[in-house]
Structure 1
Amino acid sequence: MIVTNTENQELTIENKIDKVFDMEHCEGILCPIKDILAHLGDKWSIFTILALGQNKVARFNELKKQVNGISQRMLTVTLRSLEENGLVSRQIYPEIPPRVEYALTSLGHSLLGQMLQLAEWATSHRDEIEEARQNFKEKKLVF
């Protein structure tokens, strides 16, 4: 049997999806993949990582201004979570008042690259997505 590139590509995608849903790799109730995505997949984490990717190093208030709409408490929670997961480093300078700077780690930079690919995809398919949303609204009005 000859396998074409398209068939082979579909098998590879199916295998990757199977790995995501493979319950053998899950410990107890919580699957590591779901756990990681839950920590990193929210909008505030994504925008904070993008802001740090743009600035290289930023202080708390700089991030708060750049991540439009985030509250002080939510930014604190987000930065702690990103630090806990090894994506952000936190440097405290013993000054009066103390100065704290945040930066992406090498792991954070690798995730930033993936996020930028997703952003490029979203940008290139924006018109299609908007059209689908409009079609959905129109179909919903019929019912």
Structure 2
Amino acid sequence: MGLAGAERIVARTRTHAEDERRIYPLLAYQADPIRESVKWLGRKWTLLILRDMAFLKLTRFGQILRNNPGLTPRVLARRLRQMQEEGLVERLVADEKVAYRLTSRGEDAVFILLAFLRYGIRHHLPPQVARDAESKS
């Protein structure tokens, strides 16, 4: 009996609990990409900042701040910095003026906003407003 046969015998003597702990190759869904995405995009204000940049074309700090009552300058600065670290936005400086724009990774996140928009129209608007909104899209 060669080495392969010995491995089969060892495999037969494992307990069910040991098999449960055995590491198998991770499939994409098992790596939990949803959890990782929520970790970054689920922070308070992040999706609203993305919304402002993607749909309203707001690029300046003050514009984004004014469009989000309750958002403080400190939190906005922190969130924009985190979004830069994640690669969602890039900071542009020209003539001492700072602007932000979505990166390709940030543009990918816009599809999530579109799903939220569709869900919100269907489930959180008065019925007539929802019908009007869906008929225009």
For normalisation by structure 2, the TM-score amounts to 0.63
Name the counterpart of 1:4.
none
Number of equivalenced pairs: 100
1:10-35 deviation digits (Å, cap 9, x = unpaired): xxxxxxxx854x2xx3xxxxx66423
Verify the 8 A CA contact 1:51 1:67 in the aligned structure 2. no
Name the counterpart of 1:52.
53
Determine which structure has more spread, i.e. the larger CA radius of gyration. 2
Name the counterpart of 2:64.
63
Structure 1 residue 100: Cα displacement: 0.5
Question: Can you give the 5+ residue segments of structure 2 that lack an aligned partner in the other structure?
Answer: 1-26, 127-137
Counting aligned pairs with the same residue, the percent is 27
Name the counterpart of 2:40.
39
Name the counterpart of 2:100.
102
Moved runs in structure 1, 4+ residues, more than 6 A? none
Q: Give 1:15-30 correspondences, 5 Å limit.
A: 19-20=28-29, 22=30, 25=31
Question: Can you give the 5+ residue segments of structure 1 that lack an aligned partner in the other structure?
Answer: 1-17, 26-30, 129-143
Q: Return closer, same or farther for 1:47/1:127 CA change in 2, 3 Å cut-off.
A: closer
Name the counterpart of 2:84.
83
Q: Return closer, same or farther for 1:109/1:83 CA change in 2, 3 Å cut-off.
A: same
Q: Return closer, same or farther for 1:123/1:84 CA change in 2, 3 Å cut-off.
A: same
